Structure 1
Amino acid sequence: MSDPILDHEQHLFRELQNTVADRLGMTIIHAVPIRFGYLNRKWKIRTDRGDYVLKQYSRARYREDHFPALHAALFTQNRLHDRGIPCPYLVMSQNDVLHVSSEGERFSVMTFCHGNIVKPGFLIGRHLYHLGKWTGRMHRFLNDGSMAMPEEPEPQFIPPSQAERMKHWDRVERELRSKYKTELLPVLERHRAAAAKINLPLMLQSRAGWAHRDLWTDNLLFSADRLSAILDFDRLRYDYPEADVARALMSCCFAQGRFDTSLANAFLEGYREEYPFEQEALPRSLLMLYWMECEWWIHSEMDSSSAPPVRFREEMAWLADHIDEISNGSFI
Structure 2
Amino acid sequence: MTLTAEARVIDDPAVRETVFAHLSRAWGVRITGYKPNFLGLHNRKWIVHTDAGDLFVKCYHPKRYSLLDPKRLEKIERSLMVQQYLHENGVPCPAVKTGADGRPVYRTPDGHFYVVMHCAAGRTAKAGTVDPLRMYRLGQVTGLMHRLLARSSPQTGAVEGWKPSLPVMNEEWRSNLKAAQQLPNLDARLLAAMEEHGRILSTIDLSIFDGLKHGWAHWDYWVDNILFDEDQVSGLIDFDTVTYGYPEIDVARVLLSAAFDAEEGELRTYAAEAFLDGYREHRIFPYNRLPLAFKLLWCREAHWWLRGTIKEKDEPPKRFAEEMIWLTAQWEYLESQYADW
Is TM > 0.5 for Structure 1 vs Structure 2?
yes
- Do residues 13 (structure 1) and 21 (structure 2) align? no
State yes or no: 1:76 paired with 2:79.
no
Cα distance in 1 between the residues matched to 2:303 and 2:23: 39
* Alignment-derived partner of residue 41 in structure 1: 44
1:248 aligns with 2:258: no
> Residues 199 and 327 of structure 1: is their aligned pair in 2 closer, same or farther, counting only changes over 3 Å?
farther
Corresponding residue for residue 165 of structure 1: 169
* Letter paired with 1:159: P
Identity %: 31
**Residue 248 of structure 1: how far off its partner (Å):** 0.9
Question: In structure 1, what is the Cα distance between the partners aligned to 2:149 and 2:316?
Answer: 28
Shift of residue 216, structure 1, vs aligned partner: 0.5
CA distance in 2, matches of 1:96, 1:326: 44
- 1:88 maps to 94
Structure 1 residues 324 and 197 mapped into 2: Cα distance closer, same or farther (>3 Å)?
Answer: farther
Q: Deviations over 1:15-59 (max 9, x none)?
A: 111010111222221111112111111111111111111101111
- Asked whether the equivalents of residues 190 and 320 of structure 1 are also in contact (C-alpha less than 8 Å), the reply is yes
> In the TM superposition, what whole-angstrom CA distance separates every residue of 1:285-305 from its partner, at most 9, and x where no partner exists?
110001111111223432321
Shift of 1:179: 4.9
The reply to whether residue 213 of structure 1 matches residue 204 of structure 2 is: no
Runs of 4+ in 1 over 6 A off after TM superposition: none
1:281 to 289, 300, 307: 289
CA contact (8 A) 2:191 2:308 kept: no
Cα distance in 1 for residues equivalent to 2:105 and 2:136:
33
Which residue is 2:306 aligned to?
A: 298
Partners of 2:10 and 2:227 in 1: how far apart? 31
Contact 1:217 1:252 (C-alpha < 8 Å) held by counterparts: yes
After TM superposition, the structure 1 stretch with the greater mean CA deviation from structure 2, 85-94 or 119-128, is: 119-128
Distance 1:59 1:113 in 2: 25
Answer with 291-300 or 170-179: which moved more: 170-179
Give secondary structure in 2 for the equivalent of 1:322. helix
* Aligned equivalent of 2:121: 114
Find the aligned partners of 2:268 and 2:210 in 1 and give their Cα distance.
26
The residue type equivalent to 2:164 in the other structure is P
Alpha-carbon distance in structure 2 between the residues aligned to 1:6 and 1:164: 30
- The residue aligned with 1:123 is 130
Distance verdict in 2 for CA 1:115–1:6, change over 3 Å = closer
- Residue 122 of structure 1 deviates from its aligned partner by 3.0
Structure 2 distance, partners of 1:92, 1:172, is 42
Alignment check: 8 A CA contact 2:139 2:275 kept? yes
Letter in 2 for 1:39: H
Candidates 244, 267, 274, aligned match of 1:259: 267
Which structure 2 residues correspond to residues 128-139 of structure 1 after superposition, within 5 A? Answer: 128-139=135-146
- Determine helix, strand or coil for the equivalent of 1:29: strand
Spell out, residue by residue over 1:105-160, the C-alpha distance to the aligned partner (whole angstroms, 9 max, x if none). 10011101111111134311111111111111111111125xx654454313x212
Match of 1:174 in 2: 178
Residue 326 in 1 paired to residue 334 in 2?
yes
AA of the residue aligned to 1:270:
G
Q: In 2, are the aligned partners of 1:297 and 1:309 still within 8 Å (CA)?
A: yes
Comparing 24-33 with 224-233, greater Cα deviation is found at 24-33
- Distance in structure 1 (CA, Å) of the matches to 2:10 and 2:142: 40
The one-letter code of the counterpart of 2:109 is: S
Task: Summarize the Cα distance change of 1:6–1:116 in structure 2 as closer, same or farther, 3 Å threshold.
Answer: closer
1:240-283 deviations in Å (ceiling 9; x for gaps): 10111111111111022221121111111111110111011111
Structure 1 residues 138 and 149, CA gap change in structure 2 (3 angstroms): farther
TM score, norm. by length of structure 2: 0.88
- Rounded to whole Å, the distance in 2 between the matches of 1:85 and 1:7 is 32
Residue 169 of structure 2 aligns to a residue in which SS? helix
Rounded Cα–Cα distance in structure 2 between residues aligned with 1:198 and 1:225: 40
1: CA distance between counterparts of 2:174 and 2:243? 30
- TM value normalised by structure 1: 0.90
Residues 23 and 264 of structure 1, relative CA distance in 2, 3 Å threshold: same
Give the distance between the partners of 1:45 and 1:59, measured in 2 at CA. Answer: 22
Question: 2:28 — aligned with what?
Answer: 25
Report the CA distance between 1:200 and its aligned residue.
Answer: 3.4
The gaps in structure 1 that reach 5 residues or longer are none
What amino acid sits opposite 2:125 in the alignment?
V
1:324 & 1:118 partners in 2: Cα distance?
30
Matches within 5 A, 1:151-162: 151=156, 152-156=158-162, 158-161=163-166
What amino acid is the match of 2:181?
R
